[in-house]
């Protein structure tokens, strides 16, 4: 599903990533949109659906105090109890990572709901956030998570270790909808919607060296 109609969009790829949205280039606009996957170069059509936004009340408990904020959710979002989300309050310009403890829809409390059904969210403030990472492996993309403090910075072009897997960050999808790909740019975890990365394989000794290039490196006979 398209999140915006820029020259670069984030959609699923039927060839390499049928479940996780990855960056694509828009080749053709109009009624029948055609895109090309930046990971595997597969060209395919996508269906555009209009995304609606909702300003939802959030009651946050932190220690012994509770306070009310609001956050924007889209019609693409399904939330459930125990989910971790980022509350980005537009009025105070403050960001709060929370764990959802209850979801209200009118007079009902639900375990799971689409953003369009939610009237208020109850949550507990947490110091850490679970950052979603789409790791590109060959022609496939795997979903991974890394739990870090909200202020922890991920830097495009640098390596990270996730569950003993070494990755290199290629792009970062920010919660305001923008996609950052410039090497060296650092973004705090609490502002990140998703990281796109590639797995880093450690070369074994002698990789890339021919027998000729290794002559003279050992014992002379």
**pTM, to two decimals:** 0.69
Strand 84-89 to 94-105 pairing: antiparallel
What confidence score (pLDDT) does residue 220 get?
43
- Residue 179: how many CA atoms within 13 Å on its side-chain side? 18
Please report the pLDDT score of residue 6 as a whole number: 52
Per-10-residue mean pLDDT for the chain, 221 residues long? Answer: 59 90 88 90 87 91 89 89 86 83 95 95 91 88 91 95 93 88 94 92 58 45 39
Size of the chain in residues: 221
Nearest by Cα to 70 from 58, 79, 54: 58
DSSP single-letter state for residue 202: P
Q: For position 207, what pLDDT does the model report?
A: 52
What is 53-126's CATH topology? Ribosomal Protein L25; Chain P (2.40.240)
Amino acid 219: pLDDT = 45
By the 8 A CB rule, do 174 and 95 touch?
Answer: no
**What residues does each domain of the chain span?**
8-46, 53-126, 129-199
The confidence score (pLDDT) of residue 215 equals 45
């Amino acid at each position: 599903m398209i999140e915006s109609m820029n020259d670069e969009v984030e959609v699923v790829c039927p060839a390499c990533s049928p479940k996780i949205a990855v960056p694509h280039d828009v080749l053709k606009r109009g009624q029948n949109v055609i895109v090309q996957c930046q990971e595997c170069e597969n060209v395919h059509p996508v269906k555009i659906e209009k995304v609606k936004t909702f300003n939802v009340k959030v009651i946050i408990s932190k220690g012994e105090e509770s306070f009310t904020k609001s956050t924007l959710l889209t019609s693409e979002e399904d939330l459930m109890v125990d989910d971790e989300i980022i509350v980005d309050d537009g009025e105070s310009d403050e960001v709060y990572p929370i764990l959802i403890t209850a979801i209200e829809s009118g007079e009902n409390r639900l375990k799971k709901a689409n953003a369009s059904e939610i009237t208020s969210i109850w949550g507990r403030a947490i110091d850490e956030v679970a950052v979603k990472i789409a790791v590109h492996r060959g022609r496939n993309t795997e979903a991974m998570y890394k739990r870090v403090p909200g202020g922890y910075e991920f830097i495009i072009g640098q390596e990270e270790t996730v569950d003993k897997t070494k990755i290199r960050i290629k792009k970062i999808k920010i919660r305001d909808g923008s996609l950052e790909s410039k090497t060296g740019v650092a973004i705090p975890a609490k502002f990140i919607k998703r990281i796109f990365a590639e797995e880093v394989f450690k070369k074994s000794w002698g990789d890339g060296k021919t027998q000729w290039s290794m002559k003279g490196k050992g014992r002379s006979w």
